[in-house]
Structure 1
Amino acid sequence: MASSTSIPCPASTFMLSHAQLAAMEEWAFLTHLHLHRSSRPQSQQSFLQARQHRYPSIPAYNFQATLSTIPPSSLVLFPAWCKAHSLDSGKHTSYAQYLSEVNLLPYEGDPADYPGLYHFVCMIHCGTNRFEGFERKDQMSVRWILNCFYESRYLADFGGLGDVVGGRWSIVATLTNDSGDCNRGIHKVHEYATPGPVRLMKVLASEALWPGHSAREIGILATLRGGCANIVQSFDSYTPSGRHDLPWLIMEMCNAQSLWNRAKKYWKAEEDVPELFIWHVFISLLEAVKYCHYGPGEEDWDPIYHRDITLSNVLLHYPTDDKTGYPDVKLADFGCAVTRSEATAKQLKIADMPEVCPSAIPPEGALAAKATDMYQVGAIVKELMEKERNSHGRALVRTYSKTLQYLADCCTILLAAKRPDAASMLRIVRTNRDDLLAAGSVRHERLRGE
């Protein structure tokens, strides 16, 4: 398979057996004979001898009867199709377009949840004599391509404006259909029977593409539900049984965009983000992280590590129309989060967990640990205190209180073991903020654009 290493292949237990490979090889060869009818007896005899040598214990199949029933439109070889369309046969987009035009036919030997696998592989390899080299990377690439294809069909039928999802939620607007690592679109919804507040529906990646990721995020948000005002709340979810179906989450909708959007307004105007607002963000994030790590104070709480606390994953919300005060700050997007019990039981390494934003990675890596979250909280506070990068790529620190800078430095200290925990840091930060307010060293400034 051309350039298969360019296609991402997450770990999976799905691998083809020798019997399946033998069947695919025979189908591909007979397809070749079906399309190129010259030298059939000699070619078939030569093929059967070579096949018997490679798979001596596996009886020969006979797909000739099947091939005679396949319409010509389904026997379009991928290499020839790419050549006719002037497309690169090594690119994922070429496979996606090919699959959208060729009707894959299922075969009784297809692995569960992969109808059309034999047909697809044969259309790729027919006449190339590649099955002897159809190794793990090739099989994983084929699996990835088909997973994307099956998921895209579910996504196309997912729902449009006015459609009801899950028998409860009516889609009123689509914010984005972009596909991130584990994100397949964001929609505005409200309850169908009794329309109330507008919520956000986050469509997640299928189990086939990202095994366990969506179920993990759904489970973590269910655990956190209603426990902390500084964590985005979830109201409903769907975890499908099918490997290619799409899970989704219903979450509260925040009306003042993300912290990234807010900070960017100040950076573009080359203005300072108000210090009191930064203290407000600092305290709010520590409240959220404290709850993730310690819960409501129960001894048997299973700590949750967010691992991806960035400006874009912090949302702002005004609970009323009064915007003279500061908006509520809410930690969102738990797609990279893991619990301590899972990390311990599965001995998860960084490579085993969802990839986080590169700018949020602490020196030791984005481990499943309290120190990771504390580093990221401190990094956000420091980022809010920085001007836009200058021409040399260095950040210019604005004039803020030394206390705020010192406390942010404490969170981002290089040695993870020396970083403070969220509970003690929350007390310290709140006390210092109150002292500065009492002394008149910081004051309330209305946010830009409000």
Structure 2
Amino acid sequence: MNGAFARSNSSSGGSSQDKWMLLNQLMRQGRIAILALQETHYTELQAERLNGLFEGLMRVYVSPDPVSPTAARGVAFAVNLRIMRDDSVAINVHVPGRAMTLSLKRRRGSRLTVLNVYAPNVMAESVAFWNQIRQRAGEPNWVRPDLLLGDFNIVEDASDRAPARTDNSAAVQALQALLIKLGLVDGWRSRNGVARLFSYHQISSGSQSRIDRIYVSGATLSMSHSWDIRSSGIPTDHCLVSVAIADYNEPVKGLGRWRLPGALLIDNVFLTEAQKLGFEILEKVCPEGHQGREAQWRLHAYKVGVLTAARARAKKLISKWDRRLVALRKDISAVLKNLAIPAEERSAEAAILRDEESRLEQKRFQSCRDNMMIRDKIDGETISPYWLKSNGSAAVQEPIYELQVPTVPACNLILICFGLTKKLRYGTC
């Protein structure tokens, strides 16, 4: 997080704003269940006040630095109560301000354990930190984590830095000894081979690195996919690192019905096309075999036509920001893979593209926040569906296992992301 506050580039005049407000927006928009964060600079008292502010929406668990709680270090987890129940989470602090574990209750009694770390920058301290975690891992009450994620401040391979260089051997060996003891592997590297993509860009020197990583157990790796590194939209110099993990104890859930995006309901082009389709179908001759059911045939034909037109129009209405972000990410990947370009030029060009991606993501994120503020000023004090939804506590929906067909295999997705905001998110497949 690089602290709890950030300067805003919005129309508010660049005033200071709480990053937790931005994180709450990120959790709501991205349907994020758990965020793991580093360098929070937040105290337990501040967390209690924050929990009172977001009561029923979000709960924060922090482990502040014992020496400088508001000026250095600090790790935390944020739980999205819109998605999951608070009583399904257990927290354990291993190193104050540096390492803490979240144990998440999953379906049918299984649990997922996530170890969140913020490793020291000083290599001697880094060696001691990894050795301390390894000693804790040998204690009787230690629960082996399924995932180890966070800001490691070192890389295992020189290719994870640009310009390429190796890190302190003692610190790397201490980390590797811990990984061997826990039985964890670098998931992104396992899935992407020799590909290069960086999560941290140091503006002062221009160097880049993949110091933000997710390590997973062998069983978890076999259920993982969609590994990604991208900008978060929140003011930070770190990217989001994410992975989707299947939960095979979860009942099967369908994708639901496709519905018209809200933007189409006020789009004149689509509304004109829908009206035109209606007149055309009224003039069509009903095919043979549908005599006596002309009305049903015309309704079905109209619904199919409107659905086709809506999907085609929705693709054209994709935000220019979204299209540019997709293009930038493809360009970044292409530049890093182009070995015909010298390494220094390749790194410099990728850094420029990454900066543009970060600025664009923040601009889009802030624009969405500004729109929400305008909506809140208009409807925030009016008894309406918006007001009721904003001020009510969403009930977490629990599946009814008795309705499940026994022969159908179950699969649901958990998405774990981190960077500025190290996060865990639920989805459905």
Q: What TM-score results when the alignment is normalised by the length of structure 1?
A: 0.22
| Larger radius of gyration between Structure 1 and Structure 2 | 1
Higher strand share: 2
Larger relative contact order (CA 8 Å, sep ≥ 6): 2
Q: What TM-score results when the alignment is normalised by the length of structure 2?
A: 0.23
